[in-house]
Amino acid sequence: MSVLRLKLPTDPRWVNIVEKNIEEILTDHAWCEQKAATNAITIITNNSEHQDLVKDLLALAKEEIDHFEQVHNIIIKRGLKLGRERKDDYVNELYLYMKKNGNGSRVSSLVERLLFSAMIEARSCERFKVLSENIQDEELSVFYRDLMESEAGHYTTFITYARKYGVGIDVEKRWREWLEFEENIIKNYGKSETIHG
């Protein structure tokens, strides 16, 4: 996963925690997909003047909703229940970091939102890889391998648009700062049966 440039890999033993409560990981995962779709729509709403971004993020939002449906179908098929939306402390920490670091301009707000989104996709992609390689459940192993490729594409979309529209901002420097921040907070996670937990 060096392409994602994450500084701290997930301990594969996290999958042992996940396997003890498949219903919980699937519920949490479903809501992650729903929130990812909502996030893409929010970016579109606030930056509708960028036609290419609107087009690509519409496609991304549709894909995230499709993933939500796929996870929901697995939940139903297994006789499980989609629980209530889960709080995501990891994403909330990234969100606060994003809010604190924008300079108030529209360009800065867009770049920060795109890097925030890229960060979540990068870690989700890495977690899906760990799941696909370590989970004993064959159906879920294949499912997460397929999703991993999709998340990598989403990560690339967000980074590409941050670079394209981050006029006057050293996007590469900001991304390095995001990676350092994420390394510091991810140390506290990997202890629960949630995608980012």
What is the rounded distance in angstroms from the CA atom of residue 107 to the CA atom of residue 28? 32
Q: Which residue do the tokens 């990234």 mark?
A: 94
* Model pLDDT for residues 81-115, shown as the tens digit of each residue: 999 998 999 999 999 999 999 888 999 999 999 99
Short-list 41, 138, 27, CA closest to 82 = 27
pTM: 0.96
Q: Tell me what the mean pLDDT of segment 31-37 comes to.
A: 97
